[in-house]
Amino acid sequence: MNSSRRPDPADRHTPVLIVGGGGSGLTASLALSGLGVRSLLVERHPGTSTLPKAHILNARTMEVFGQLGVADDIYREGAPQENCGAMVWLSSLGGDEPYDRKVLHRTSAYGGGELAERYARASAYPHANLGQRWLEPLLRRHAEERAPGHLLFHHELVDLQEDADGVTATVLDRTADRTFRVRAGYVVAADGGKTVSRLRGIRMTGTPTFLEWINLHVRADFSEFIPYDDAVVNRVSSLSDDGTLEHCGVVPMGPRRWGRHSEEWTLMFSRPPGAQGAAALDDETIVKMVRRTLKLPDDHAMDVRSISRWPVEGTVAEHFRSGRVFLVGDAAHRHPPSGALGLNTGVQDAHNLAWKLAHVLEGRADSVLLDSYEAERRPVAERVVERALFSLFNQIAFTSGTGVVQGARPEWNRAQMTALFSDTPDGATRRAVQREYFATNRITTEHLGLEMGYDYGDAGFVGDDGTERPEQDPLGLEHVQDARPGSRLPHAWLRHGGRRVSTHHLHTGRGPFLLLAGSEGAPWLAAVEELADTCGVPVTAYAVGTGDGPWDDDGAWTELRGHDDDGAVLVRPDGYVAMRWLVGQARPAAALGAALDLALARGARDAVRPGGRD
């Protein structure tokens, strides 16, 4: 709500107020601290998540965490790569029917197994697997080390007023039962849409609740029932006594042993909304339903630590920005967990926003730059929501390959499942057909193009080098690395300072722009020196292949960069290309200055002309 009256005196002042202490909010805190910007985080719960929740962190997210200095800890505390490289579909965990305890399908997933080599060509960072119950305390620990006293848990935002100069928030200290005022320049809403969106009147658009999801966090020994030690997700689809297929995810969560020997697990299933939905089921009924679906022996121990219910929707906020308020993560987009896209997208939202807030607050960028957050990230959210919805329904398409028919007599469906696993030519045919159905599920388990292929070229805050955008894989499976403005900086290995480093390691972590010129790029390095005092924007610059490096020993970067030896690539603090010059420029300092002005929304938008070949 906007107000023209003079704000009341505040108890605390901060450049940025972060509302929400989950993955997105903690990432925002880390990113801002790394950029030298103070922030204050308030979270209404007394601590981080007590539920495992999301667990797969894709390669792009790990690049972000690498820049923030927490990737090594995540790899150390998460699952070893050998324990999180596959997805497996099972007919049950227990049971003694001819079709029980069978492997329906197995495939490499999320950059593991047979996908590892292809993913390694695209990023120096493999995916990680660590549930939010363990990830968030790790992020919180790092965030509090970098901003002592600036993370307030058990504190709830209750009101938000905006005026021409900033925002005044009323925060309830839930421990002391008192309120105080916080004066901030900007607000990052990472509260899952609980409060800020309501206070600002921001609606969610798209597909409202169509399923209700139930997660059980359990301690159990499932090692005798799980056939593989590298499955990051086991999906059970069992035939019930009444002849219907029931589905349940069985996800190993570690935290000390992993794979089939994990001590803790998440069990996931869904119900239609309404009278028979999740809210209508008491905990005892839910546990009985899950045990029946998994066909666990009656005497097999399973300690249920918690049961959570949440609505599944496919929605995007109509606005990601409202004045001085910005929505990230679940506050901005909500969708099913299919494809492990939710937390990853939220982390990347916060990373995209943080450097822009920092440069605006430091006076290096025009406040118009903050418009680029919605322009760049909302299309990403729309694509993610579309994919997650499609993936959810596609995951059960394989049931058509079993021969099981919804509503058919139980005897018929039992016969179909028995025939599926029979050692006969008919059984072999059925299994071959079923593999065809499962092949379509690649859009859930190997979407490298979706993870890495976001392009910000249409948002209006990067230059134009006159080249055509590469054709994208419509399935999002493949990612063609490209250094065209608006794309993510391609990953290639270089040799620098006696070490093997990725192009993504060349950012210093303090958020400067990065310029990578060719071996004849001395004029570009001179241009950076010339602009150092007048431009006010730090730029780390290298001429690859000269002097003290870095050096492109295997030629991978030379192939990917797309410019001549006298050309250059300018990269934003978030790792996306701001401008590429295919050849040297007559006035490199002017060209570089214009590109920085565009990237920071300073001056005319037509200041950057294509730096292409004549």
DSSP class per residue in 204-231: EEEEEEEEEEEEEEEE---TTT---SSE
Compute the average pLDDT of residues 497-524. 90
Query: What pLDDT is recorded for position 211?
Result: 87
> Are residues 591 and 508 part of one domain?
yes
Residue 351 located in a structural domain = yes
Instruction: Indicate if 348 and 471 belong to the same structural domain.
Output: no
User: Cα dist. 404→110, 238, 239, 298, 431 in Å?
Assistant: 29, 11, 9, 27, 13
Q: Percent of the chain beyond pLDDT 70?
A: 95
Same domain, 471 and 598: yes
Q: Which domain holds residue 146?
A: 12-79+126-204+318-390
pLDDT above 50 for 238 = yes
For 57-84, b/e burial (b = at least 16 CB within 10 A) is: bbbbbbbbbbbbebbebbbebbbebebb
What's the confidence (pLDDT) of residue 607? Answer: 45
Kindly state whether residues 38 and 175 are assigned to the same domain: yes
Q: What is the per-residue pLDDT across 135-146, written as a single tens digit (0 to 9) for each?
A: 999 999 999 999
Within 8 A by CB and 6+ apart from 2, the residues are: 162, 163, 323
In angstroms, how far apart are the furthest CA atoms of the chain?
A: 82
The predicted pLDDT at position 8 comes to 63
Please say whether the beta carbons of 608 and 592 come within 8 A: no
Over 80: is that where the pLDDT of 187 sits?
yes
Secondary structure (H, E, C), 421-489:
CCCCHHHHHHHHHHHHHHHCCHHHHCCHHHHHCCCCCCCCCCCCCCCCCCCCCCCCCCCCCCCCCCCEC
**Token pair 């800890």: residue:** 73
Assess if residue 46 is contained within a domain: yes
Does residue 611 register a pLDDT over 70? Answer: no
Is 143 a domain residue?
Answer: yes
pLDDT > 90: what percent of the chain?
Answer: 86
Q: At what angle do helices 371-394 and 342-361 cross, to 10 degrees?
A: 180
Q: How many helices (H) and strands (E) does the chain have?
A: 16, 24
Q: Would 509 be classed as within a structural domain? A: yes
Boundary-marking domain end, from 390, 405, 438: 390
Q: Considering only 46-55, 106-115, 150-159, 389-398, which range has the smallest mean pLDDT?
A: 389-398
> Of 582, 587, 586, whose CA–CA distance to 611 is shortest?
582
Same domain, 580 and 468: yes
**What is the rounded distance in angstroms from the CA atom of residue 241 to the CA atom of residue 99?**
13
Quote the pTM value.
0.94
pLDDT-based confidence at residue 507 (cuts at 50, 70, 90): confident
Rounded distance between C-alpha atoms, residue 509 and residue 66, angstroms:
9
- Comparing C-alpha atoms, which of 347, 373, 378 is closest to residue 360? 373
What's the sign of the alpha-carbon dihedral 29, 31, 32, 34?
positive
**H-helix segments, 35-95:** 59-67, 71-77
Question: What's the mean per-residue pLDDT of the chain?
Answer: 93
pLDDT band at 415, cuts 50/70/90?
A: very high
Residue 605 pLDDT class (50, 70, 90 cuts): very low
Q: Is there a single domain that holds both residue 385 and residue 478?
A: no
- What pLDDT sits at residue 237? 95
Q: Which of 119, 110, 47 is nearest to 84 (CA)?
A: 110
User: Residue 614 — pLDDT band, cuts 50, 70, 90?
Assistant: very low
Classify strands 231-239 and 245-252 as parallel, antiparallel or unpaired.
antiparallel
Asked whether residue 66 falls in the same domain as residue 174, the answer is yes
pLDDT value of residue 610: 58
Q: Does 578 fall in a domain? A: yes
Compute the distance between CA of residue 532 and CA of residue 549 in angstroms, rounded to an integer: 21
Per-residue pLDDT, averaged over 488-507, amounts to: 94
**Residue 526 pLDDT > 70:** yes
With cut-offs at 50, 70 and 90, classify the pLDDT of residue 7.
low
Give the number of domains in the chain. Answer: 2
**Overall average pLDDT of the 1-23 stretch:** 79
Band of the pLDDT at 274, cuts 50, 70, 90? Answer: low
Convert the pLDDT of each residue in 348-399 to its tens digit. 999 999 999 999 999 999 999 999 999 999 999 999 999 999 998 888 888 8
Which of 151-155, 208-212, 374-378, 528-532 is predicted with the least confidence, judged by mean pLDDT? 208-212
- Among the residue ranges 101-105, 209-213, 243-247, 512-516, the one predicted with the least confidence is 209-213
Confidence of residue 210 (pLDDT cuts 50, 70, 90): confident
**DSSP states along 530-578:** HHHHHH---EEEEETTSTT--B-TTSHHHHHH-S-TT-EEEE-TTSBEE
Residue 188 φ then ψ, to 5°: -105, 115
At 553-598, the pLDDT tens digits run: 999 999 999 999 999 999 999 999 999 999 999 999 999 999 999 9
Residues 348 and 463 in one domain: no
Which residue type, as a one-letter code, is found at position 158? V
CATH of the domain at 501: 3.40.30.120
* Together in a domain, 357 and 470: no
| Together in a domain, 349 and 465 | no
Q: What is the pLDDT of residues 69-83, one digit of tens each?
A: 999 999 999 999 999
- Distances, alpha carbon 99 to alpha carbons 102, 237, 415, 576, in Å: 6, 11, 10, 50
Boundary residue ending a domain (342, 367, 390): 390
**Among 375, 123, 85, residue whose Cα is nearest residue 252:** 85
Reply yes or no on whether the pLDDT at 613 is more than 60. Answer: no
pLDDT at 2 over 90: no
Any long-range contacts for 405-412 (C-beta under 8 Å, 24+ apart)?
406/244, 408/243, 409/243, 410/241, 410/242, 410/243, 411/243, 412/243
Check if the beta carbon of residue 266 is closer than 8 Å to that of residue 253. yes
Question: Is 581 part of a structural domain of the chain?
Answer: yes
Last residue of a domain, one of 352, 375, 390: 390
Reported as a single tens digit per residue, the pLDDT across 100-126 is 999 999 999 999 999 999 999 999 999
The residues facing 611 across adjacent strands are 581
Strand partners, 163: 166
What whole-number distance in Å separates Cα of residue 55 and Cα of residue 133?
Answer: 9
> Is the pLDDT confidence value at 5 over 60?
no
Q: Hey, how many other C-beta atoms are within 10 angstroms of the C-beta on 529?
A: 11
Q: What CATH number corresponds to the domain at position 369?
A: 3.50.50.60
CB-side neighbour CA atoms (13 Å) of 304: 16
Same domain flag for 476 and 603: yes
Partners of 187 in beta bridges: 17, 325
Distance CA 434, CA 427 (A): 10
Inter-residue contact 36 to 358 (CB < 8 Å): yes
Asked if residue 263 belongs to a domain, the reply is no
For residues 291-301, give the mean pLDDT.
96
Mean pLDDT of 52-65: 96
DSSP for 268-314, written as a single string: EEEE-SSTTSGGGS-HHHHHHHHHHHHT--TT---EEEEEEEEEEEE
**Does the residue 221 lie in any domain?**
no
Is the Cβ–Cβ distance between 363 and 416 less than 8 Å? Answer: no
Under 8 Å between Cβ of 184 and 166? yes
Task: Answer yes or no: do 466 and 376 share one domain.
Answer: no
- What per-residue confidence (pLDDT) applies to 509? 58
DSSP for residue 123: -
What average pLDDT does the segment 158-184 reach?
A: 97
